[in-house]
Amino acid sequence: MQGQGSYNALSYKGNREYDSKNYDKASSYFLEAIKKKQDFGGYYNLGNTLYKREMYSEAKAEYQKALSLAKTKEDKMAALYNLGNAEMKAQNYDKAAEFYKKALQQDPYNESIRKNYNISKLKQKEKNQSKSNNKSQNQNSEQDKPQENQQKKSEQESPQNSDKNKDGGANEKDKGQGTGQSPKPDNNSSENKRGMSKEEENRIMQRLESKEREAARRILNKNSYIDPKSNEKDW
């Protein structure tokens, strides 16, 4: 009974420090309480204080321990929900979505969890689009290099070769691109004038994607994922 009393006293002090936003002291009390008794409440409360201290990896570890000891749907939901919040803070949006989805299985009508799930999916989509745009820009940059190199090579030709080009310029123009050294066709050539240039197409697509993301933000409120669910029980 003495050990149990010490556990309750430490948990009570930890909760008071947490409510006063003294998260360092609260962590110390909850850590001491766990040494007295390992249960859901101790690990869960310790996870919340670590989360508030922006120690998200450490908080996730404590939430996982709490989840393993959870006996009710409410406790399972709370641990899963806070795991999702911690993953959101770490910008692991795909993992956050997985935890929110599992939390919804415990509480299907919880609107806060559902909203955070939608936000995590949106932010993961934005992250993927950003990677795709960067990759596309890098590819375009690589495609431009042969043209630049070919131009430099032409500028460095000897006077003798330059004279030959002057004499046989018309013939050289008609040879086509069979050597593999010729620059790739310009996007603004007559062959491509029938349609939209790749650069224009990319700009239009980016504008459309930007409008789509802005509309989604207005619906979901981008920064609305919330702090850890508080547990009002005295552990």
Quickly list DSSP for 65-99: HHHHH--SHHHHHHHHHHHHHHHHHTT-HHHHHHH
- Which of 2-6, 89-93, 231-235 shows the lowest mean pLDDT across its residues? 231-235
pLDDT at 131: 82
* Confidence (pLDDT) at 229: 64
pTM value is 0.60
pLDDT band for position 149 (50/70/90)?
Answer: low
The pLDDT of residue 219 is above 90? no
Long-range contacts at 2-7 (CB < 8 A, ≥ 24 apart) = 3/36, 3/37, 4/36, 4/37, 6/36, 7/33, 7/36, 7/37, 7/42, 7/235
> What was the pLDDT predicted at 130?
86
With CA atoms as reference, report the closest residue to 38 among 48, 28, 46. Answer: 46
Instruction: Report residue 52 as tokens.
Output: 């508030």
Given this model, what pLDDT does residue 224 score?
43
Q: Among 27-31, 168-172, 196-200, 210-214, name the most confident range.
A: 27-31
Q: How confident is the model at residue 153 (pLDDT cuts 50, 70, 90)?
A: low
Return the closest-CA partner of residue 125 out of 86, 97, 162, 89.
97
pLDDT for 222 beyond 70: no
Decide if pLDDT at 117 tops 80. yes
Report which of residues 71 and 182 the model is more confident about.
Answer: 71
Q: Which range (3-7, 104-108, 149-153) has the least confidence?
A: 149-153
What was the pLDDT predicted at 199?
Answer: 74
**Interval 201-213: pLDDT, tens:** 666 666 655 554 5
Q: Which fold has domain 1-69?
A: 1.25.40
Q: 30 or 167, which is more confident?
A: 30
- In this prediction, residue 134 carries a pLDDT of 76
Higher per-residue confidence, 230 vs 133: 133
Output the pLDDT for position 1.
46
Note whether 44 and 66 are within 8 A (CB): yes
The answer on pLDDT for 23 being more than 50 is yes
pLDDT class for 137, splitting at 50, 70, 90? confident
The CATH T-level fold of domain 70-132+208-222 is: 1.25.40
Mean pLDDT of the chain: 76
